[in-house]
């Protein structure tokens, strides 16, 4: 079995992977209900797509300590019955970079989605252009 469940390239040229061990031990953790596990599996394809084509890449508010980026996009899933923000947390202090987890957010406020770390990439206004913050 491969160490990686999958790997993709983000718009900044970074190789990003989801380790099989992270998926099993952290994302599909024992404290999730069966319904939550099924939901996490359903949106896994959206997670890959969000890393490949995010609306935003934003530095985590504690970036200097944890070196994580948040990849953000809006997704609409029929079972959710509305659009929500998908936030994928990626550890950038490793090569390849690694998915830590993903979260669905109902609240689309700047603080709940972006934190305070600063934009690294904005697909709408800066196609394939790195933003220095």
Q: What is the pLDDT of residues 26-79, one digit of tens each?
A: 888 767 788 888 878 888 999 999 999 999 998 888 888 889 999 999 988 776
The answer to whether residue 111 scores a pLDDT higher than 90 is no
What is each CA distance from 15 to 10, 84, 117, in whole angstroms?
7, 26, 21
Confidence of residue 95 (pLDDT cuts 50, 70, 90): very high
Give pLDDT, residue 44: 92
User: What is the C-alpha to C-alpha distance for residues 69 and 61, in angstroms, rounded to an integer?
Assistant: 9
User: What is the C-alpha to C-alpha distance for residues 58 and 94, in angstroms, rounded to an integer?
Assistant: 17
Per DSSP, helices labelled H in 1-133 are 20-22, 34-42, 44-52, 63-66, 110-114
Give pLDDT, residue 133: 43
């Amino acid at each position: 079995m491969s160490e990686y469940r999958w790997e993709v390239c983000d718009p900044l040229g970074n190789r990003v992977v989801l380790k099989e061990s992270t998926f099993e031990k952290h994302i599909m953790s024992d404290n999730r209900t069966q319904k939550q596990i099924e939901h996490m599996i359903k949106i896994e394809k959206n997670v890959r797509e969000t890393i490949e084509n995010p609306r935003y890449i934003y530095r985590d508010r504690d970036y200097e300590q944890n070196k994580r980026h948040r990849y953000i996009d809006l997704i609409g899933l029929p079972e959710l019955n509305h659009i929500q923000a998908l936030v994928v947390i990626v550890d950038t202090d490793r090569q390849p970079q690694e998915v830590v987890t993903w979260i669905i957010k109902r609240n689309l406020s700047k603080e709940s989605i972006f934190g305070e770390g600063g934009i690294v990439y904005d697909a709408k206004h800066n196609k394939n252009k790195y933003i220095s913050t």
